Structure 1
Amino acid sequence: MRKLTVGIGRAVAVGGLLAVTALLPWLTRTDPALTVLHARYGDAPTTPEQLAQVRDRLGLGEGPFTFFGQWVRGLAHGDLGTSWVTGADVASDVAGSFWVSVSLMAYAMVVAVGVAVAVWLPALRRGRPEARGGAVAGVLAALPEFLIASVLATLFAVRLGWFPAQGWASPASAVLPALALGIPAGAVLGRLGQDALPTVFAEPWVRTMRAGGMPRSRIARRAVRRMLPAVLPQAGLTVVGLTGAAAAVEAVFAIPGLGGTAVAAALDLDLPLLQGCLLVLLALGVAAAVTVGLVRRRLLGPALAAGALPGATRVSWRGASYAGWILGALLLGVIGWGLTRDPLQVDLAARLVAPSRAHPFGTDALGRDVLARLGHGALRTLLTAAVVCAVCFVAGVLLGLVRAAKGLTEVANALPAILAGLLVTGLFGAGQTGAAVAVAAVGWAPLAAHTAALAEAERGAGHLAAARALGAGRGHVLRRHVLPGVLPPVARHAALRLAPTTLALASLSFLGLGTQPPTPEWGRLLMENLPYAERAPWAVLAPAAALAVVGATVALTGRRTAQGRA
């Protein structure tokens, strides 16, 4: 019954998203015929007769639902249609992009696993319940993929010539983009595993194995096996995220991947190509979720059904380390300093000026003071990202506790934030509110998956069976037994996503869907100044360093100590 419910949820979510995609021209109030003509012929003048002919040829005259019905009928016969812009067969274009993206995803996952293991190693070597550190993982998780890609391309491809700068011609072409995608993803997985290890090391079997003289390496291997079920759902979502949300990295290296193809199709309103890309992304998301579920069942074994898993340990949170307080104070000081300066003053005579006494952080391409824009953009950037993270945390916990929402979680994760932004903008218009709604619409999915994994493991604990035998109701079990083991690690996961949320908002702003210029915003600072990174690196380093400091501060705030269950 449970599998049937999840399957129905997946089918409804996939069908609903594809149906909404068919409404994209009507939601965005954009004439698809005009967009298609501009995509084909640039800014050449068009006539009403040409627009009418294109509408008839695209089948838009009868409305979106007729168009969607025709697409579904074609899909039943294996036909994804033809591209509105190029006239090419959609199935062929999607298949080519799919294999490129899957190959890149595989390479990136190898990097991510390597980074995650490197983050886990200190705790595994100590073999103690207390897991310290995490600042490096916090910084790596906060670094933008497109910034890492640009730095790697400039250093190792352009200057040193060790790897190709663009294209997808050989395995060497995958090295730099795989590093750019895998490093932040591995840092997130490593931080989640590092949060789970203290609980594992506090379980009774660890003390028993130590008392029996088991080697520390063997205990570490078993601890990783016990910790993996809590991390695997996030790993499954990371697989899909690397495939569907790698548009920026693909653009840096000119890689014809699925993410970039989907975003380009959305911007051109090439609905057949967009729907084909989304269908493949969603199918990949479902396949990854099913695979993760099977592996988790294999790792947990019959203990889950028998209620023989150890219960969640009580976790104490100690105050931030001195390094965390120092970083936070420095960041606040810089923000306060920037607030005393004018962020909108344009001085074309001082374009891309290096840091000096007049401009401590230098100037941007319009001669505006980078320090001023960093300070004035802090409140808007951090407050909006914090609100989005809070909303995602609440939604993720609530939906993660509902087993029927599993299909919706998989679909939401497979949808890149940029595509969600295009859909939401049609309803709310371009602006900060629409961008925040778009990011929140997909940002809750990793938290929901994390919640579901932890809740499932906690429901399989033996003390829950004892509580039910004593007459405890569902509300009492949820409040006193399940949530204490779920909320702390998920809250920390939500805080860890502060920097990625900021960058997602920035991506939408860069496309004109979010914060509008000249309003200062950290992500916009990054993306506006990225083309000048080689000539004026300070304009990019300032917002990137601010995001890295935020990630490090979050990682250093609150060290976990597992104390065993009372």
Structure 2
Amino acid sequence: MRHHVATLLWRALLAAALLCGIGLLPWLSRTDPALTVVKARSADRDPTPRVLSDIRAQLGLDQGPLHLLGQWLGGLPRGDAGRSWLNGTEVTPSVVQALGVTLLLVTVALAVAAATAALVCARTLWLGAHRRLDGRRAGGGTSAMLAALPEFLTASVLATAVGVQLGWLPALGWYGPRWTVLPALALGLPAGAVLGRLLDDLLPGAFAEPWAPAAEARGLPGRTIAAKAVRRCVPALLPNLGLFVVGLTAGSVAVEQIYDIPGLGRTTLQAALAQDLPVLQAGTFALLLLAVTATGLAALAVRRLDGRALRDGALGSLHRPRRSDRSALPLVYGGLLIAVVALGLLRDPLALDTDARLRSPSWNHPFGTDALGRDLLARVGHGALDTLLTALAVSVTALVVGVLLGLLPRLSGPLVDTVNAVPPVLAALLVTAVAGSGAATPAISVATVSWSALAAHTSSLLRQEHATLHLTATRGLGASRWYLLRYEVLPAILPPVTRHALLRLPGVALALASLGFLGLGTQPPAPEWGLLLAGNQPYAERAPWAVLAPAAALALLGALAVSSTGGVRWPGRRARVEAG
């Protein structure tokens, strides 16, 4: 009971700190909120001293940030989140309506994700049900590339190819069921592929447990054995599934912006850029409530499914040593990516040729040209080094922090919920307010939020491993905590979490560059991959190659990162492959 009270207080403290930080955002960044509001209301209006004075008086800015923050917090128990600084409307109804739109979109996206995860795991389920697994993952290269595509990229490609070029589905607005398809696919396909890969990582361990051959010997059909294997693995994934629900809501910022959907993500983004604090605080508060609800339901589901086994230490380990995957796919993808970068480095990424604007791919310009006549191959090649090195550094940092905090679940659990509810754009604004804008701002911002999913994965695996039979027996023989951590727990946790981090590497790369496009880091004309995607998006109908060229480069990076996960295992441990 005392532990639950402490956890609730810790969650409340973190949520209050985040909301207070947002309430102080203009003053932390040393900007005049009245000037920002004037520009957001009308870009053509002259911000004279009298106009600014009237705005300050209207919004109560002269009373100071602490008074405004206390006034906003005082209205929350009554359901009053204040009025928008931009249009004067009540915040609560608009945020609730935006949250409803986003939840509908996320619900459809989760259905897409479930179907995608089932397809990713279909081959492994079939092989396991027929006792043909050899200790290696059976997932294919298509899921590797799909799992690596972040929402912004998937949304851009679908809007360009399906919505604009083919005209099969509407790519703009929110007017009915047909308008949910493309954004739901953009959110659900990558999320489902990641969940599918994580489930695919657990299934061989489930099929290798003693119950599987016993079930086959009793004559149970293969589909029943496969269903029981999924049931055995689901509890280990539920904490990540809860984070995915919140992550989809926060990640829908870019998707809602691209498809012009009036959801919570787009509302929060616009409020953050315009420093409309009441709307921004209410949107963040809604995300925090959603995070607490989703993770709480996930915890209840885990207790319902595996509660007795977790308490009695009667589980088997799903993460036994296995064979390394010596596929040649990483060499193929790596060779292609190196070739693209090397050819691009031989060209000038800043050379302008206004007579060659938006040229289609040719021998002179293999990837075509952009709106200023610059060679896209050159820009992709030169943008690769900074993008990839920074993304790798951020991913390694997120992995280390995620594992360390994940091994301390009582400390990290509430922190994960809070951090996971913060969109990267909002994190970048907070970092910019404290540390100032610069080339390092995107890296710090993405690193601040990207560790949370890895910490949740680590905590989930730790909880499962602590309840395994072999760990209970080893502990009963007098093994120390250090021995258990070094020789039993870490070998079971680090390989799957490292593979998870590799799955997220391409998304980190695009998140870094996308923040630069919003003016929170590296600026044009730097050839960042995210800048190329976002900058060329307005020309997608006339010149689809301008978007597809950096998208293809990112897909290669994703395929390389995800296909490399097959060789990740604990050094010095040999796989114990079950007999078929």
Q: TM-score, normalised by structure 1?
A: 0.96
User: What secondary structure does 2:322 align onto?
Assistant: strand
Segment drifting more, 181-190 vs 316-325: 316-325
Deviation at 1:298, TM superposition (A): 1.4
The AA in structure 2 aligned to 1:486 is: I
Instruction: State the match for 1:48 in structure 2.
Output: 49
Q: Which residue of 2 aligns with 1:409?
A: 416
**1:228 matched to which residue of 2?**
234
Q: Deviation of residue 52 (structure 1)?
A: 2.0
Question: For each residue in 1:86-119, what CA deviation from the matched residue of structure 2 results, as whole angstroms up to 9, or x when unmatched?
Answer: 1000001101101111111100100001000110
Please state how far the C-alpha of 1:125 moved relative to its aligned partner.
0.4
In the TM superposition, what whole-angstrom CA distance separates every residue of 1:288-307 from its partner, at most 9, and x where no partner exists?
Answer: 00001111111213011000
Q: Conserved in 2, the CA contact under 8 Å of 1:244 and 1:259?
A: yes
Q: Percent identity?
A: 52
The residue type paired with residue 81 of structure 2 is L
Aligned to 2:30: 29
Aligned AA for 1:502? A
Q: Return the offset for 1:342.
A: 1.2
Which residue does 2:572 correspond to in 1? none
AA partner of residue 503 (structure 1):
L
SS at match of 1:244: helix
Gap change, CA 1:484 and 1:430, over 3 Å in 2:
same
User: Tell me, what secondary structure is at the counterpart of 1:256?
Assistant: coil
Are 2:276 and 1:270 aligned? yes
Q: How far did residue 4 of structure 1 move?
A: 2.4
Counterpart of 2:259, as a letter, is F
Match of residue 182, structure 1, among 179, 184, 188: 188
Report if aligned partners of 2:160, 2:544 keep a CA contact under 8 Å in 1: no
Tell me if 1:486 matches 2:493: yes
Matched, 1:563 2:570: no
For 2:177, the equivalent position in structure 1 comes to 171
Shift of 1:264: 0.3
1:451 matched to which residue of 2?
458
Is 1:549–2:550 an aligned residue pair? no
Q: Which moved more, 1:419-428 or 1:207-216?
A: 207-216
CA–CA separation in structure 2 for the residues paired with 1:298 and 1:242:
25
1:385 Cα deviation from its structure 2 partner = 0.6
The aligned residue for residue 468 of structure 2 is: 461
For 1:181 and 1:45, the matched residues in 2 are separated by 41
| Letter of the 1:540 counterpart | V
Contact preservation (8 Å) 1:202, 1:313: no
Distance in 1 (CA, whole Å) between partners of 2:357 and 2:496 is 46
Hey, what does 1:284 align to over in structure 2? Answer: 290
For 1:250 and 1:426, the matched residues in 2 are separated by 25
The answer to which of 462-471 and 447-456 deviates more is 462-471
Look up the SS of the partner of 2:362 in the other structure: coil
> Which position in structure 2 is the counterpart of 1:126?
127
Letter matched to residue 558 of structure 2: G
SS of the residue aligned with 1:316? coil
Q: Deviations over 1:341-371 (max 9, x none)?
A: 1111122222112222222222111111111
**Residue equivalent to 1:340:** 346
Output the CA distance in 1 between the equivalents of 2:33 and 2:319: 56
CA distance 1:381–1:320, change in 2 (3 Å): farther
Which of 490, 508, 523 is matched with 1:516 structurally?
Answer: 523
Aligned to 1:302, the other structure's residue is in SS state helix
* CA distance 1:8–1:474, change in 2 (3 Å): farther
Q: Is the 8 A contact 1:166 1:173 kept in 2?
A: yes
C-alpha offsets along residues 244-269 of structure 1, whole Å, 9 cap, x if unaligned?
22122112222100000001001110
- Aligned positions of 1:255-404 closer than 5 A: 255-316=261-322, 318-404=324-410
Change (3 A) 1:540 1:157: closer
Query: 2:100 maps to what in 1?
Result: 99
Identify unmatched segments of 5+ residues in structure 2.
570-574
Q: Which amino acid aligns with 2:470?
A: H
Secondary structure of the residue aligned to 1:536 is coil
- Deviation, structure 1 residue 525: 1.2
Counterpart CA distance in 1 for 2:343 and 2:445 is 32
Shift of 1:451: 0.7
Larger mean CA deviation between 384-393 and 143-152 belongs to: 143-152
Q: Is the 8 A contact 1:430 1:513 kept in 2?
A: yes
Q: Distance in 1 between matches of 2:3 and 2:487?
A: 25
Query: Partners in 1 of 2:557 and 2:166 — Cα distance?
Result: 32
Give the Å deviation of 1:564. Answer: 6.0
The SS at the match of 1:170 is coil
Structure 2 counterpart of 1:38: 39
- Tell whether the 8 Å contact from 2:202 to 2:318 is kept in structure 1 after alignment: no
For residue 367 of structure 1, give the secondary structure of its aligned residue in structure 2: coil
Q: Which amino acid aligns with 2:298?
A: V
In 2: Cα distance, 1:400 partner to 1:552 partner: 27
Deviation at 1:173, TM superposition (A): 1.8
Residues 154 and 117 of structure 1: is their aligned pair in 2 closer, same or farther, counting only changes over 3 Å? same
Aligned counterparts of 1:203 and 1:428: Cα–Cα separation in 2: 51
Deviation at 1:411, TM superposition (A): 1.0
**Cα distance change of structure 1 residues 311 and 252 upon mapping to structure 2, 3 Å threshold:** closer
CA RMSD of aligned residues (A): 1.8
- SS of equivalent residue, structure 2 residue 494: helix
Separation (CA, whole Å) in 2 of partners of 1:76 and 1:525: 45
SS state of the match for residue 47, structure 2? Answer: coil
Contact 2:420 2:453 in 1 (8 A): yes
Q: With the length of structure 2 as denominator, give the TM-score of the two structures.
A: 0.94
Shift in Å at residue 465 of structure 1?
2.3
CA contact (8 A) 2:206 2:229 kept: yes
Secondary structure of residue in 2 paired with 1:315: coil
The separation in 2 between residues aligned to 1:504 and 1:541, in whole angstroms, is 17
Return the offset for 1:209: 2.2
8 Å contact 1:105–1:242 — kept in the other structure?
yes
Q: Is the Cα–Cα contact under 8 Å of residues 121 and 196 in structure 2 kept in the other structure?
A: yes
CA distance in 2, matches of 1:221, 1:230: 15
Q: How far apart are residue 154 of structure 1 and its match? A: 4.3
Aligned positions, number: 565
More displaced stretch, 20-29 vs 47-56: 47-56
The one-character-per-residue Cα deviations of 1:122-176 (angstroms, maximum 9, x if unpaired) are 0000012432233212211222423433443345445655444433222222112
Does the 8 Å contact 2:517/2:524 carry over to 1?
A: no
Q: Aligned equivalents of 2:561 and 2:138: distance in 1? A: 13
* Equivalent residues of 1:370, 1:539 under 8 A apart: yes
Give the Cα–Cα distance (whole angstroms) in 1 for the partners of residues 154 and 241 of structure 2. 21
Query: Does structure 1 residue 194 correspond to structure 2 residue 195?
Result: no
Deviates more, 1:281-290 or 1:132-141: 132-141
The 5 A counterparts of 1:145-164 are 145-158=151-164, 161-164=167-170
Partners of 2:157 and 2:548 within 8 A in 1? no
The structure showing larger relative contact order (alpha-carbon pairs under 8 Å, at least 6 residues apart) is 1
Native 8 Å contact 1:334 1:375 kept in 2: yes
Q: Check if 1:143 corresponds to 2:141.
A: no
Change in Cα spacing, 1:461 to 1:527, as seen in structure 2 (3 Å) is: same
| 1:475 counterpart letter in structure 2 | W
Question: Which stretch has the larger CA shift, 532-541 or 269-278?
Answer: 532-541
